[in-house]
Amino acid sequence: MDHLEFRLLGSIDACVGGRRLELGPRKRRYVLAALLLDLNRPVAVERLIDAVWEGDPPDSARMTVQGHVYRLRRTLVGAQVETDASGYVLRADPEQVDVLRFRRLAAEAAVAGDEAGAALLEEALELWLGPALGEPGGGTSLAVAAVELEEARLAAVEELARRRLRLGQPERAVAPLRAIVTAAPHHERLVSLLMTAFFRVGRQAEALELYERTRRLLADQLGVSPGRELQATFESVLTARV
């Protein structure tokens, strides 16, 4: 029997044998995401409502959530949605959920040596197919969860880059750093690491151009100057002391 997998690191999906299941309307996917984020733990109906609607939910919210859970039970063969005293529990193997695999790999990397840890972080980051919970809309609790997951992604990229630099492998730090800096151009620590990686692979001019672009961006959009770490990296690259 093909394996059921859940994806939250990108669009909210369930797949069997690589084939996406038809989950139905967006609000049903929000309910699924909330259940997956607390996999194997009870999720109160009120929390599911908060995951679906921002602000005041409609009077029919509880009944609508119940209907979405009913449909998910019929769709998700290979997982079990149980009724709990306060709400519902989605029971499945954590390895079926990309978010939980990402967290496991990041935790294993944290206690591993640089080489093994870098490999684990690369495996974890390969699970990302787009922005976390990448569906427009949704309620407050999902918005908060998406921000927290994106912060975890940035932290993983940063740690991977630091390990590759320590291992003397700056060429392997450039691509993941450049991709994430494009998406998060205000993140000064990542910009600093990318400048360092550029310099160490002989691309000093690109490092200096990146600094200037970031300096202008910070000034134009936030009205601030580069922080101490980024300024120090600029001076090191400029004087070839990185």
Q: Specify whether 186 is located in the same domain as 207.
A: yes
Q: Specify whether 154 is located in the same domain as 191.
A: no
What total number of domains does the chain contain?
A: 2
State which residues form the domain around 55: 1-167
pLDDT score at 140: 87
Q: What is the CATH number of the domain that holds 27?
A: 1.10.10.10
HSE, CB side, 13 Å, CA atoms: give it for residue 22. 1
Q: Specify whether 202 is located in the same domain as 86.
A: no
Identify the segments of the chain with pLDDT beneath 50. Answer: 1
The pLDDT tens digits of the residues spanning 128-173 come to: 999 999 876 788 889 999 999 999 999 999 999 999 999 999 999 9
Q: Specify whether 85 is located in the same domain as 181.
A: no
**Which position has the token pair 């000064």?**
188
**Beta-bridge mates of residue 90:** 81
Q: Specify whether 159 is located in the same domain as 174.
A: no
Domain boundary among 114, 135, 167: 167
pLDDT score at 77: 81
Domain boundary among 136, 167, 198: 167
Domain boundary among 167, 182, 202: 167
Residue type, 90: L
Q: Specify whether 214 is located in the same domain as 148.
A: no
Q: Specify whether 150 is located in the same domain as 42.
A: yes
Q: CA–CA distance from 24 to each of 13, 56, 72, 202 (Å)?
A: 10, 23, 9, 51
Q: Specify whether 113 is located in the same domain as 4.
A: yes
Q: What is the CATH number of the domain that holds 177?
A: 1.25.40.10
- Distance (Å, whole) CA 104 – CA 110: 10
Q: Specify whether 120 is located in the same domain as 231.
A: no
Residue type, 185: P
Q: Specify whether 196 is located in the same domain as 128.
A: no
pLDDT score at 2: 64
pLDDT score at 195: 97
DSSP string, the chain: -PPEEEE-SSS-EEEETTEEP---SHHHHHHHHHHHHTTTS-EEHHHHHHHH-SSSPPTTHHHHHHHHHHHHHHH-TTSEEEE-SSEEEEE--GGGBHHHHHHHHHHHHHTS-HHHHHHHHHHHHTT--SSTT--S---HHHHHHHHHHHHHHHHHHHHHHHHHHHTT-THHHHHHHHHHHHH-TT-HHHHHHHHHHHHHTT-HHHHHHHHHHHHHHIIIII-----HHHHHHHHHHHTT--
Q: Specify whether 62 is located in the same domain as 176.
A: no
pTM: 0.91
Q: Specify whether 80 is located in the same domain as 125.
A: yes
